[in-house]
């Protein structure tokens, strides 16, 4: 007889899982507690540890592979934001140089219209 004192664990399971465990225990002619201990032990064997190591290795490889792509996308996003800012300030400067009296008001209206346009999700939508 095994006298191995272990840790006591209490947890909640759904009624459906409780019925499945009861059915499986009855089929194996063993108490539900014994069945649960056996299922837990089987799921925590060395192959589970190896699978976890493999999963971590694959995640690391994917992360390392995607890092240059992420950096390139970030660089392009910065370049696009910089180009947009340059265009905005150049447009404002040109309007001022051409004698447009309300260039800042036009800029503010254009910003509002752009924000509304982006907010409606029409940035890439077909017209």
Q: How far apart are CA 90 and CA 95, in angstroms?
A: 8
Q: What is the DSSP letter of 12?
A: -
Residues 46-104: pLDDT tens digits?
677 777 778 888 988 999 999 999 999 999 999 999 998 899 889 888 988 999 888 88
Nearest to 118 by CA among 94, 92, 84: 84
Q: Is the pLDDT of residue 3 over 60?
A: no
Structure confidence at residue 127 as a pLDDT band (50, 70, 90): very low
């Amino acid at each position: 007889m095994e006298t191995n004192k272990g840790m006591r664990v209490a947890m909640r399971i759904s009624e459906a899982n409780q019925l499945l465990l009861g059915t499986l225990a009855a089929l194996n002619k063993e108490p539900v507690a014994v069945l649960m201990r056996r299922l837990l032990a089987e799921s925590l064997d060395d192959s589970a540890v190896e699978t976890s190591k493999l999963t971590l290795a694959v995640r690391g490889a994917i992360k390392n592979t995607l890092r240059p792509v992420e950096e390139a996308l970030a660089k392009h996003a910065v370049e696009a934001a910089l180009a947009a800012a340059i265009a905005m300030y150049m447009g404002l400067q040109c309007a001022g140089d051409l004698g447009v009296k309300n260039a800042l008001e036009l800029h503010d209206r254009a910003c509002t219209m752009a924000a509304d346009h982006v907010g409606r999700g029409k940035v890439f939508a077909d017209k």
